[in-house]
Structure 1
């Protein structure tokens, strides 16, 4: 079954399909995000893509983008890490291992690129927390997230 999926870099050719998936996923439960316009999300993606450290992946089935990971290479004392800012799987494909498959695909690719870790933040108590912990991520209790 998994051979029908393909990992691709996020690029201008699949940007619109990524934006559609992002809006479709995050405008529903449990996130219920509200966007001023589709253009707002396009600009968000383009700003990421224009970053020198940008790294984005898409998982496609045929021509359909079914998962995406939007992030960047992050320098750290022990080398480069992949920071995932946004990660989602099409609601149609959630709950059947596609997200875990996608993460494994990404992890394999970043290792080939010489990166040594995947880091991310997620909302406590949301399904994403369980998903990441199920996939081997651990909470860094010595780190706090602050905003001003």
Structure 2
């Protein structure tokens, strides 16, 4: 079952996010407090859209997005999406994307955008769900 995000679910979502990203693929080292603060930044955003995935009355995943103003039509940017490792590759991530896709259609928005780590399984998951590699944009950073 998928429900709209409730702020009371923040701790559980942060713990799942840590399970997903604190590993050899992502090489993150999220603490619970930092993960909660990170997710809360999205929740407090003016155009936040979030959902949680529930299985047997337990949160097992979530998607955090926001509506982004764009010159020709607003779009949804996926800020974070995660599903507990033990239930990955069972269609639950696709269910979360489908909820957002329905929101996009209901509000006549342009579509989705996101960024992810190219050296993990995530790009293939998104490609399988109809996303394309954007040839016209380049994600850049400067390390200090």
Calculate the TM-score normalised by the size of structure 1. 0.87
Aligned to 1:17: 12
Alignment of 1:41-120 (within 5 A): 41-120=35-114
- Is residue 121 from structure 1 mapped to residue 115 from structure 2 by the alignment? yes
Alpha-carbon RMSD across the aligned residues, in angstroms, is: 1.5
Aligned to 2:131: 137
Aligned to 2:3: 8
Whether the aligned pair in 1 keeps the contact of 2:51 and 2:96 (CA below 8 Å) is no
CA distance in 1, matches of 2:58, 2:24: 22
| 1:107 Cα deviation from its structure 2 partner | 0.9
CA shift digits 1:27-86 (9 cap, x unpaired): 123112112x31111111112111112222211123211221122111112222110121
CA shift digits 1:104-147 (9 cap, x unpaired): 22211332233331110111131001000011000111111122
Which consecutive segments of 4 or more residues in structure 1 shift more than 6 A?
none
Aligned to 1:147: 141
CA distance in 2, matches of 1:16, 1:113: 30
Calculate the TM-score normalised by the size of structure 2. 0.89
* Greater displacement, 50-59 / 125-134: 50-59
| 1:19 Cα deviation from its structure 2 partner | 0.8
CA distance in 2, matches of 1:16, 1:111: 30
Corresponding residue SS for 1:79: coil
Gap runs ≥5 in structure 1: 1-5
**Number of paired residues?**
142
CA distance in 2, matches of 1:45, 1:98: 20
